[in-house]
Amino acid sequence: MPELRRGPIRNQWVIIAPDRAKRPSDYDARAAEPDEQEPIHCPFCSGNETMTPPEIARTNGSDGRWQVRVVPNKFPALQDYAELSRDGVEGGFDRMNGEGAHEVVIETPDHNRELPDLPAEQVKRVIDMYIARLSGLMQNPRLRHIVLFKNHGKEAGASLLHPHSQIIAVPIVPRDVRDVLRIAKEYYKRRERCLFCDVMLGEMRNGERIIDETDGYAAWAPYDSRFPFEVLISPQAHCCDFTQLTEEQRWGLARTLKRTLQRLRNLLGDIPYNLILQTSPNPTEQPGKPEHWKTLQYDYHWRIEILPRLTRVAGFEWGTGSYVNPIPPERAAEYLREAPVSDLD
């Protein structure tokens, strides 16, 4: 059974998920055999629905066939419990049961078409499903934070080729998220402005690191990029909660995301990457900590990070928390601005 553990030195929660150890691919460095990734064996392909756990949600097309499906992860990092239990362990350690949710969003029935290949309408369907699932999970007050991410490529952590994303909801607000929330709150308290808006407006005025600035979104290479060709996408209109997007903003994001991923692929090839949604924690007030969520609508700003996996995180990075990036973000942005983009319809 999964559980969460926290030690007094690093002060960071870790998910211990023994059920996931049943996947040989977690330990086998060899690539999967080609026939194991063919549509006939793929649990995410149309016609193979019985190979997944019972679905949670789906979006159908005009022909009645599914276009997006959501299913529980077959090897979940967390799962639902009747109640959330917390206790201390000798030595100053904390522990709680592995309360949470772990879902897979199957982005298309087509085995070989990734987000940059799909029509904007299909990317919009995926975004609609993201919003529906995040909104649904937020109804559970025990789930304090939800992470939506996409691992593309084996080096980025994907074990199946079929295009999919994952959602993990946890009963904590992770330390790195709390640190950013604190910084944003303190900045707003001093200046009565959103830190993220100020950074974005500064990038748009400077222009040196801007990649794209259309459809109500800005995409740029962050000043302190950790990885070569790292990209940040942010709505130009202030918004703390991804689930609050209007219909127009969803369409704008679909086109921006498709265009950005096309630039990366057309410039660098089919590289592995991680895509991460950074949105506000569950705004439901928590007992004993009512002040945490009072100012989110003013001082927080959701965004999407795209992290190409072109360099390895090794001893120096693990030992210091600092990264070595061999490509200046100004040069990366220049290359990406010039990268071709195909039809967005």
State the catalytic residues. 164
> In the 3-class helix/strand/coil scheme, how is 201-225 assigned residue by residue?
HHHHHHCCCEEEEECCEEEECCCCC
**Which structure tokens are listed for 189?**
């308290």
* Pair 106, 71: CB distance under 8 Å: yes
- Euclidean distance between CA atoms 199 and 334, whole angstroms: 19
C-beta atoms surrounding 36 within 10 Å: 12
- The length of the chain is 345
Q: Which of 225, 222, 228, 231 is nearest to 257 (CA)?
A: 231
Give the Cα separation of 183 and 233 in Å (integer).
20
* Three-state secondary-structure class, residue 107: coil
Q: Are strands 303-308 and 273-278 parallel, antiparallel or unpaired?
A: antiparallel
Residues 6+ apart with CB under 8 A from 198: 187, 191
Q: Please, what's the b/e burial string for 237-272 (b: 16 or more CB within 10 A of its CB; e: otherwise)? A: ebbbbbbebeeebbbbbbbbbbbbbbbbbeebeebb
Question: Helix %, strand %, coil % for the chain, to 5?
Answer: 35, 25, 45
Please give the Cα distance from 118 to 261 (Å, whole number): 11
| 318 in Cβ contact with 221 (< 8 Å) | no
Q: Can you tell me the distance from the alpha carbon of 287 to that of 2, in angstroms, rounded to the nearest whole number?
A: 24
